[in-house]
Chain A
Amino acid sequence: MTDSKIKIESLYKIFGPKPKSVLPLVLEGISKQDLLENHGHVLGLKDINIDIPSREISVIMGLSGSGKSTLIRHINRLIEPTDGRILVDGEDVLGMDKAALQNFRRHKASMVFQKFGLLVHRTVAENVAYGLTVQSVPVEEARERCQKWINRVGLSGFEGHYPSQLSGGMQQRVGLARALATDAEILLMDEAFSALDPLIRNDMQGILLELQEELHKTIVFITHDLDEALRIGDRIAILRDGAVIQQGKPQEIVMHPADDYIFDFIKDINRGRVIEVKTIMTAGETVKGPDLNHNVLLEEALQMVSDSETREGNVVSDEGKAIGSINLAQIVQALSRPSVEVGEETRYR
């Protein structure tokens, strides 16, 4: 079902004058601080192994300095790794020569940037067409292909404007349309919505999810915002100090944080919008009450169950077969008390 589109294998990135020379030390597990103080190199990424499934949104989350923007730039090789492999559709990106890499960037992976990266001397239409211009697509054809995307992101009528005449949200729509216009299968989004204010950000997330429902691209999305990660991510990898500390579905991360660091992260989120009923149901039992699809979120389930007379409900599979039950008390408990297992132990706030 989830064949991996991008496979990152034991990727290391060391910044400094002679990264290769200190690589053996890093492989032996030297600490970041030791490496900086005694060897003058900065450890950017440490033993990253991530499988990015095709046609899904994979979020890489981390705070600033965690290496997330460095990581995404390895996928299209804007940054060269010190060691490791990056396979896209089985082909090693690092083995590509200049022409192959150019081709890869033109047709296979496009990118959206935090600071938009628009060309200020080009109009909206010309910016959206940039990827096609680079591919030497004839002007007329490029204009036609781009118009679709301009309309799709809601910029019709602004084709002749310059980026400086647009608000931040609209500028990022241009960035998104530009990335979509090349029809690349992979979309790399580097904190694409982080520079926008919350309402606009919410809007843009909506647009992205809507587009994704239709396009099914392989999206790698970088963010520092857990709510954003939980909202749009089919899968999440959490990065800290250049290493992946946990990856999995949003559910898994919320219910089973790997360590205190992640526990601190998730304790304040709105759990009703993340946890699905199947995660907390009592399996095998059937009761009297409304049927809830197993993917229903607690927020909605709470409404349905408390509206029912019995204050209970059945959890059913996609085929309509009952697979378990859930009651009001279970839902409320799951919503209110983050009793989560951190590693082995169970912990309360």
Chain B
Amino acid sequence: MDFDQFPSMGREDLRDFKKGIDSGFRDFSREFGEAIEQFFDPLLWFLVRLEQLLQATPWPIIIIIVGVLAWLGSRSIKIVVGSVLSFFAIGYFGMWEDTMSTLAIISVSTLVCISVGIPTGVMMARSDRAQKVVTPILDIMQTIPAFVYLIPVVMLLGIGKVPGLIAVCIYAMPPVVRLTNLGIRLVEKEALEAADAFGASSTQRLFGVQIPLALPNIFAGVNQTIMMALSMVVIASMIGVAGLGVPVLRSISNQYLALGLMNGLAIVALAIIFDRVSQEYGSRLQKHRQGTQHD
């Protein structure tokens, strides 16, 4: 035996092997690409409409909405003022339109992540087997380089908003799934036993006890999901998603320091606003936990 060289598959075979997979997938995408595209059409429609709406709305109204949402979420004047000022700065430095596009894709991908992620998390919490199956998938979703899953997605759906959305969701969904699962599993045994003892059905148990008690954790998951979606903006722009990522990409290839920095900071500003507002909201949700001790 020769140990200098690993007994690898022959060069010919390896080439055929890769070719086989490639052509197989190409056939698959030729066959089903259109159907899959149609499946995502409603999502695309929604995303485009939202983007158009955000860009068509006069900027003072958007700023008022931002201020009101920040207030509703955080009940903190400091955060409201900070958010409004950030938006003024973004507009002043000419990044308004890109920011609106980014807001649109972040909102839609967060919605998708929540509506898929929370039920998945609930399923994992209810069945150990589901947890065993889903956990490694989540690991893959979080660690596999984005470029790798972009290849099949682009092969299937081409360049555009939908593949961008899918890429963002793949990366951003795991936290909300994991934390929903964790949150439900951490619900005290006593509370569940009480629900059972009073004859709650499993639906009543889920919506009346498990989800409300897991809400702080679920909310932390949603918060993480938003953050991760924002961090994917630049990569998503590589496959044709409009937004703050596009100028960043341009400034990388052209070495425009100021442009890159400005747009990068705009992403950071959005992230901080989302984070503070949602965290404040999350901690208000669990007000009952920190009640003053009454003795």
Shortest B102–chain A CB gap in Å is: 35
Report the minimum CB–CB distance from A123 to chain B (whole Å): 8
A25 surroundings in chain B (CB, below 8 A): none
Q: In the complex, A163→B199 CA distance in Å?
A: 21
0/1 string, A119-149, CB within 8 A of B gives 1: 1110000000011011100000000000000
B213 touches A76 (CB 8 A): no
B201 at the interface (CB under 8 A from A): yes
B194 nearest in chain A by CB position: A117
Question: Quick check: is B291 within 8 A (CB to CB) of the other chain?
Answer: yes
Q: Are B294 and A165 in contact (CB under 8 A)?
A: yes
Q: Which residue of A lies closest to B212 (CB)?
A: A121
Query: B190 contacts which of A102, A105, A113, A182 (Cβ < 8 Å)?
Result: A113
The answer to whether the Cβ of B289 comes within 8 Å of any Cβ in the partner chain is yes
Which chain B residues numbered 163 to 198 have a C-beta less than 8 Å away from chain A?
A: 190-191, 193-198
Q: Are A78 and B196 in contact (CB under 8 A)?
A: yes
A201 close to chain B: CB less than 8 A: no
| Binary flags per residue of A87-117, CB closer than 8 Å to B gives 1, else 0 | 0000000000000011111110011010111
Contact A164 B199 (CB under 8 A): no
Interfacial chain B residues near A178, Cβ < 8 Å: 198
Can you report 9 A-B residue pairs in the complex whose CB atoms are below 8 A from each other?
A102-B201, A113-B193, A119-B191, A119-B212, A134-B195, A163-B288, A164-B289, A164-B290, A164-B291
Number of chain A interface residues as a range: 35 or more
CB pair A133 B208 closer than 8 Å:
yes
Q: Within 8 Å CB of B191, what residues of A?
A: 117-120
- Return chain A residues, CB-CB under 8 Å to B288: 120-121, 162-164
Cβ of A252 to closest chain B Cβ, rounded Å: 32
A166 interfacial by beta-carbon distance below 8 Å: yes
Give every chain B residue within 8 A of A118 (Cβ-Cβ).
191, 194
- Partner among A106, A117, A162, A165 whose Cβ is within 8 Å of the Cβ of B193: A117
Contact across chains for B199 and A121 when beta carbons are under 8 A apart: no
Q: Verify B295–A102 contact, CB threshold 8 A.
A: no
Q: Is chain A's binding surface mostly helix, strand, loop or mixed?
A: mixed
User: A117-B190, A117-B193, A121-B212 are known contacts. Are A130 and B198 too (CB-CB below 8 A)?
Assistant: yes
Q: Are A167 and B291 in contact (CB under 8 A)?
A: no
Residues of B whose CB lies within 8 Å of any CB of A are 190-191, 193-201, 204, 208-209, 212-213, 215, 288-295
Beta-carbon contact of A165 and B293 below 8 Å: yes
What residues of B have a CB within 8 angstroms of the CB of A106 in the complex?
198-199
Residues of A within 8 A of B204 (CB): 134
Q: Which residues of A contact B292 (CB under 8 A)?
A: 165
Cross-chain contact A134 with B200 (CB below 8 angstroms): yes
On chain A, the residues within 8 Å of B193 by CB distance are 78, 113, 117
Q: Apart from A131-B199, A134-B204, A162-B288, what 12 extra A-B contacts exist at CB < 8 Å? A: A76-B197, A102-B199, A107-B199, A111-B198, A117-B193, A119-B209, A120-B213, A120-B289, A130-B198, A164-B293, A165-B293, A170-B294
Contact, CB under 8 Å: A105 / B295: no
Q: Does A39 contact B (CB under 8 A)?
A: no
CB distance from A121 to the nearest CB of B (A): 5
Chain B residues with Cβ under 8 A from A20's Cβ? Answer: none
7 tightest A-B contacts by CB?
A117-B194, A105-B199, A106-B199, A165-B291, A162-B288, A111-B197, A164-B291
A105 touches B198 (CB 8 A): yes
Residues of B within 8 A of A216 (CB): none
> In chain B, what residue has the closest Cβ to A104?
B199
Among B191, B198, B288, max chain A CB count under 10 A is at B198
Complex formed: what's the CA distance from A130 to B196 in Å?
11
Min CB distance A276 to B, Å, is 36
Which A172-198 residues sit within 8 Å CB-CB of chain B? Answer: 178, 182, 188
Does A161 lie at the interface of the complex (its beta carbon under 8 Å from any beta carbon of B)?
Answer: yes
Judging by beta carbons under 8 Å apart, are A134 and B213 in contact? Answer: no
- Cα separation A102 to B290 with both chains bound (whole Å): 34
> How far apart are the CA atoms of A134 and B196 in the complex, in Å?
10
- Judge whether B199 and A113 touch: CB under 8 Å: no
CB-CB under 8 A from B197, the residues of chain A are 76, 78, 105, 110-111, 113, 117, 188
Identify the interface centre among A115, A117, A182: most chain B CB within 10 Å of its CB: A117
Which single residue of chain A is at the shortest CB-CB distance from B190? A117
